[in-house]
Structure 1
Amino acid sequence: MNIRAIPYHEAGNSLRRAFGTLQERVAPTGMEPDLELHDPALDARSFYVSAGEQVISYAAVVRKAISHGGQTFQLAGLSCVATDPAWQRQGLGSRVVSAATAYIETSGVDLGLFTCDPPLAAFYWQAGAWPVRADLVLVGSQHPAALSSRLLDKVVLLRLFSARAQAAAAAFSQTTINLDLPLGQFL
């Protein structure tokens, strides 16, 4: 089974529906599959594996600019990572995360940044060398009702890719990073 990649905004409705259907199978909400998993402003790129017409493993890379420590940085992060329960424990999730991580590493962004549930941290380390940064807190925005890694009980994963980000490593230590996202959005 090959990993395919496509800019999310170029995926047709049937493929977007398949991405949303997978999300619903993995984390049921009882709602119709979302055809807009990713805000267009985040320029998502989808990595996926299919069995016939069914998407069975998925990871997206989302991108945006953030201001932090007096500088602007381009970041990319993983989003909506999921593998169909019937296909888990076969390495598909690791493969899509590895492919998405390789894309991030060569995309020219300054840093990779996202959150996950604490029990999944070892998976992301193994699949993409994503270290947990317990000293960091992510906030969706400065709005008092904004989502945050603490509020959601998530761990923060960070990799500094560019020389500029590595030179500013101290600014990414013991701090809160504002993602400047619309209210209700988070990475």
Structure 2
Amino acid sequence: MIGYAEADLPAGPARQVAELEARVWPGSTPGHDPALHPRTMLLVDAVGTVIAALSLLYKPIPLADRTYRAAGLSSVVTLPELRGRGCGARLVAAARAELAADPAVDLALFSCDRPLAAFYEAAGFDVLPGTVLVGGTPEDPLATDEPGFDKVVLAAFFTDDPGRDRAAFTGVRVPLHPGNTDRLW
């Protein structure tokens, strides 16, 4: 695993990540809002080919009379021809371990398409039943329960009282509001 602040990602790997994302999500725009302090994690093979990538995004989230220091997984992608071989799973597990070791992070929180929930659960994240992330901005929100979405919200808590904090995030609408670039992470 290799990690970089997105702004420091060398040109070669940055190009490979952009090409991989465009291949998997045609029409996507590479990169994230710098205000979210994006960090790129890569799994590369022996010759330096990016075989899987993801981004970590960071933002404080006010909820339940507290402000949590949250990180989210975004743009998790694996070369299509290597899917099912554990590459993405290794990268997601490494991202969770990195976040758990970071004293500046209280929780990892993100949404995914419902069929992918088991993949993230295998890496140590838990589904938060009934939880909705509200992305976008307060003036132009985008929620994970919008018509046409089939999303679930997952989390891992790294606080002194993870049970209490899990309860605070379960079955509620979470004001994520990461902006208009990364409307949901």
Tell me the TM-score normalised to structure 1 length.
0.86
Q: What percentage of aligned pairs have identical amino acids?
A: 33
Describe how 1:54-73 pairs up with structure 2 within 5 A. 54-73=49-68
Query: Paired residue for 2:34, among 27, 40, 44?
Result: 40
Query: Paired residue for 1:23, among 21, 24, 31?
Result: 21
Verify the 8 A CA contact 1:4 1:47 in the aligned structure 2: yes
Shift of 1:177: 0.3
Shift of 1:165: 5.7
Whole-angstrom CA distance in 2 between matches of 1:129 and 1:165: 14
Structure 1 letter corresponding to 2:184:
F
The answer to whether the aligner puts 1:86 opposite 2:90 as a matched pair is no
Aligned to 1:115: 111
Instruction: Tell me the matched-pair count.
Output: 179
Q: 1:148 to 1:176 in 2, by over 3 A?
A: same
For structure 1, the 5+ residue unaligned runs are none
**Does the residue aligned with 1:163 lie in a helix, a strand or coil?**
coil
Aligned to 1:178: 175
Aligned to 2:121: 125
Q: 1:101 to 1:169 in 2, by over 3 A?
A: closer
Verify the 8 A CA contact 2:56 2:73 in the aligned structure 1: yes
Verify the 8 A CA contact 1:73 1:165 in the aligned structure 2: no
1:110-163 Cα distance to aligned partner (Å, 9 max, x none):
11100001111001111x2111112201101322x4211112321100222112
1:20-65 Cα distance to aligned partner (Å, 9 max, x none):
1111112222x6xx4x421111112211123445422112211111
Tell me the TM-score normalised to structure 2 length.
0.87
Q: Which moved more, 1:90-99 or 1:165-174?
A: 165-174
**Does the residue aligned with 2:74 lie in a helix, a strand or coil?**
strand
Shift of 1:170: 3.5
**Does the residue aligned with 1:147 lie in a helix, a strand or coil?**
strand
Q: 1:167 to 1:89 in 2, by over 3 A?
A: closer
Shift of 1:166: 4.4
Verify the 8 A CA contact 1:49 1:58 in the aligned structure 2: yes
For structure 2, the 5+ residue unaligned runs are none
Whole-angstrom CA distance in 1 between matches of 2:112 and 2:164: 26
Aligned to 2:159: 162
